[in-house]
Amino acid sequence: MSTLQENPPPSSRRGPIIDPDYNFGSVTDKISSIVLTPGTHMGWWLGFGASFLLVMVMLWSIAVLFARGIGVWGLNVPVGWAFDITNFVWWIGIGHAGTLISAILLLLRQDWRTSINRFAEAMTLFAVSCALLYPLLHLGRPSYFYFLIPYPATHGVWPQFRSPLIWDFFAVGTYGTVSLLFWYVGLIPDLATLRDRARNRYAAIIYGILAMGWRNSARHWMRYQKAYLLLAGLATPLVVSVHTIVSFDFAAGIVPGWHVTIFPPYFVAGAIYSGFAMVLTLAIPLRAAYGLQGLVTERHLDNMAKVMLTAGLVVAYGYLMEAFMSWYSGNVFEQYVMLNRLQGPYRYTYWALLICNIIIPQLLWSRAVRSSPIALFILSLIINVGMWLERFVIIAVSLHRDFLPSSWDMYTPTFWEWSLYIGTIGLFLSLLFLFIRLLPMISIFEVRELLVEEAHRESE
Amino acid sequence: MNATSPLYGMLAEFDDVDRLVEAAGRTRDAGYRKTDAYAPFPVHGLAEALGMKRTAMPLVILLGGILGGLAGYSLQYWVSVIENPWNVGGRPLHSWPAFIPVTFETTVLGASLAGVLGMLALNGLPTPHHPLFAVPQFERASRDGFFLFIRATDPKFDPVAVRQFLQDLHPREVIDVPQT
């Protein structure tokens, strides 16, 4: 006993990744009861109602856009992309943390990922759904979006495979599909758990259909685990490729401020940064509302904060390199981009971005900040704002003053751009509210497995 | 068991996972082949103890990936060189470096689809109906129950001997599973 106290195992020194009082039965009941308890909490209805109202705002904005055309937005000739692509990149980036947590941390055997991977994956899926709206909506003729699909059309025109925009269509399409598959495969055993626990006949039938007759057979588990592991191995390079290709949309262009080789790694780091910030934004209120502190522990928050700090430093390096290369290039247009960011009419966005993404997040070095859920929640919101500003600076601020001063112009977002953006946040939150009420937000079978691993670790 | 519903197999429930793995190994040693085990999470070494050596999953996923990659590259080649040769700034029609991103994405897509569909197909899912679902105790397999199962079609299956064999493994209970 004395030796145990002198040399506590690493997990107990840094706080447990799961409350040691849980057992197979109680974790199953705890997580499945959130879904299966009849009667929905008032807070859920309020949250879902407010989000759903915003979905209506989104549909209204889309209806106006379709009826009156792209002219309802504030775009003009040098600034052909602004809120639309800013929001597309912002949403896609948020999605990336879900894949990172579920796939990369699985391959790295970071078992603390277990209790956060399910809703991080759901977040990915919903963020990708919001992101996918923008490339469709920003088309002048959105009804012809299917021209992107290579199919033998009577007009004989095919997509141009040498363009990054078509790469993006394949990348985001694959990413959305694979995220959905990965999420669904992860859900199958838990759907079977819900089928077996459900007391309501309709619930049992619906979960039963979705579980496809999963019966926890050891032979099935073996194939399941192999498939899941290999899917994680496939999702890992996929997630890196998606944001790399998103960055090619810019880097392959000649606009000053876009044509830089640092973009792919810098975009991927930014995606991880914003995604982890969004996971914290969602996880902190959820664990408080549903009493999940024993499953999503302070150790999880601490680990996520550290990943965020690291990604933030890589992003800071990206900003530094952008500034250095614009000076070192000796190119007057590249140099002007940087000056325009620092002193131009949109300078407040660049300075706000530096404060939100670089200066304030340095607080994460402090253990006290990392162990305070409220501080982390506020920081995560600041980083979400900062990462949105980053994309705005890269896209709209680079475009508004390109090569010829005679073509310079200012861009101001209109009401319909704001309403569409806020509407997509409503869509994202509505889907999340439905998800936490209808599906297990924590992977039940992986937590059971974690209990066994923790027990083994203690007995060693 | 009654005459109208023949036996599908025999199920034994164990108290914990270590006993289940041990019992699975002894079942294999005793010569039973049409066996399965049920646990609420993937148990390391359980399928191996039952005699399942490897799965075809890696091969299925590899083939899916190769197929996806070939399909993606040939689509781009055929469209850009044969069907719709379009001169953009004098670039070669077969600009292979520009075809790599899409080829990569279709490779991942093919492998992932093969992985998921292959896993379901090899596991025989969806299976909406299964005799085990009629066993009331079996719903613990998705909570905290650990089960070993020997199917009646096993060549060595004999109701009396199997029941005795399972009892000797010290389970919590041995249950007859009727064919439903």
Q: For A48-69, what is the mean pLDDT?
A: 94
Q: Do B80 and A209 touch (CB under 8 A)?
A: no
The residues facing B10 across adjacent strands are B150, B176
Q: What is the pLDDT of residue B1?
A: 45
Nearest-by-Cβ selection for B112 from A28, A181, A448: A181
Residues in chain B: 180
Q: Do A177 and B129 touch (CB under 8 A)?
A: no
User: pLDDT digits over A368-380, tens only?
Assistant: 889 889 999 999 9
CB contacts of B34 in chain A (<8 Å) are none
Greatest mean pLDDT range, A13-17, A129-133, A285-289, B130-134: A129-133
Contact of B77 with A245, CB cutoff 8 Å: no
B81 close contact with A: CB closer than 8 A:
no
C-alpha dihedral (B112, B118, B120, B124), degrees to nearest 10:
180
Q: What is the pLDDT of residue A363?
A: 93
Q: What is the pLDDT of residue A90?
A: 93
Q: What is the pLDDT of residue B4?
A: 57
DSSP string of A389-446, one letter each residue: HHHHIIIIIHHHS-S-GGG-------HHHHHHHHHHHHHHHHHHHHHHHHS-SS-HHH
Residue A185 Ramachandran class (φ > 0 left, ψ -120 to 50 alpha, else beta) = alpha
CA distance A42 to A313: 41
Contact of B121 with A224, CB cutoff 8 Å: no
Q: Indicate which of B15, B62, B143, B147 best probes the interface with A, i.e. most A CBs within 10 Å of its own CB.
A: B143
Q: Is the pLDDT of residue A21 over 80?
A: no
Q: For B8-31, what is the mean pLDDT?
A: 86
User: pLDDT digits over A375-416, tens only?
Assistant: 999 999 999 999 999 999 999 998 999 888 898 999 999 999
CA distance B149 to B36: 5
| Sequence-ordered alpha helix ranges (H) in chain B | 17-29, 46-49, 57-77, 96-122, 159-168
Residues in chain A: 460
Q: For A296-317, what is the mean pLDDT?
A: 90
- Edge-to-edge strands of the sheet including B146-151? B35-38, B146-151, B7-14, B173-178
User: pLDDT digits over A139-162, tens only?
Assistant: 888 888 888 888 888 888 888 898
CB contacts of B116 in chain A (<8 Å) are 181, 184-185, 227, 231
Report which residue type is found at B169: L
Q: Is the pLDDT of residue A126 over 60?
A: yes
Q: For B69-92, what is the mean pLDDT?
A: 91
Structural domains in chain B, CATH included, are: 7-53+133-178 (3.30.70), 57-122 (no CATH)
B169 close contact with A: CB closer than 8 A:
no
CB contacts of B108 in chain A (<8 Å) are 174, 178, 234-235, 237-238, 241
Q: Do A227 and B42 touch (CB under 8 A)?
A: no
A35 to chain B, closest Cα gap in Å: 16
> Which residue in chain A has the smallest CA separation from B93?
A162
CB contacts of A219 in chain B (<8 Å) are 36, 47, 50, 52, 123
Q: Is the pLDDT of residue B2 over 80?
A: no
Structural domains in chain A, CATH included, are: 2-459 (1.20.1630.10)
| Confidence at A3, pLDDT banded by 50, 70, 90 | very low
| Confidence at B180, pLDDT banded by 50, 70, 90 | confident
Q: What is the pLDDT of residue A14?
A: 61
DSSP string of A167-203, one letter each residue: HHHHHHHHHHHHHHHHHHHHHHHHHHHHHHH--SHHH
Lookup: tokens for A429: 């939150």
| Residue A254 DSSP one-character state | -
**Exposure class string for B14-45: b at 16+ Cβ within 10 A, else e:** beebebbbebbbebbeeebeebbbbbbbbbee
B24 close contact with A: CB closer than 8 A:
yes
Q: What is the pLDDT of residue B27?
A: 86
Q: Indicate which of A26, A29, A221, A456 best probes the interface with B, i.e. most B CBs within 10 Å of its own CB.
A: A221
> Does the interface predicted TM-score (ipTM) exceed 0.95?
no
User: pLDDT digits over A191-219, tens only?
Assistant: 999 888 888 888 889 998 998 989 888 88
User: pLDDT digits over B82-106, tens only?
Assistant: 988 888 888 899 989 999 999 999 9
Q: What is the pLDDT of residue B110?
A: 95
Contact of A179 with A95, CB cutoff 8 Å: yes
Contact of B168 with B12, CB cutoff 8 Å: no
Chain A with chain B: Cβ pairs closer than 8 A: 190
A-contacting residues in B 128-167 (Cβ below 8 Å)? 128-130, 132-133, 138-139, 141-144
Q: For A87-93, what is the mean pLDDT?
A: 92
DSSP string of A104-140, one letter each residue: IHHHTT-GGGHHHHHHHHHHHHHHHHHHHHHHHHTSS
B175 close contact with A: CB closer than 8 A:
no
Helix (H, G, I), strand (E, B) or coil at B151: strand
Q: Do A234 and B118 touch (CB under 8 A)?
A: no
B88 close contact with A: CB closer than 8 A:
yes
Q: What is the pLDDT of residue A384?
A: 93
pLDDT-above-70 percentage for chain A: 97
| Sequence-ordered alpha helix ranges (H) in A198-261 | 201-211, 218-251
Higher pLDDT, A286 or B105: B105
Helix (H, G, I), strand (E, B) or coil at A226: helix
Q: For B65-76, what is the mean pLDDT?
A: 95
Nearest-by-Cβ selection for B55 from A170, A173, A226: A226
pLDDT-above-70 percentage for chain B: 98
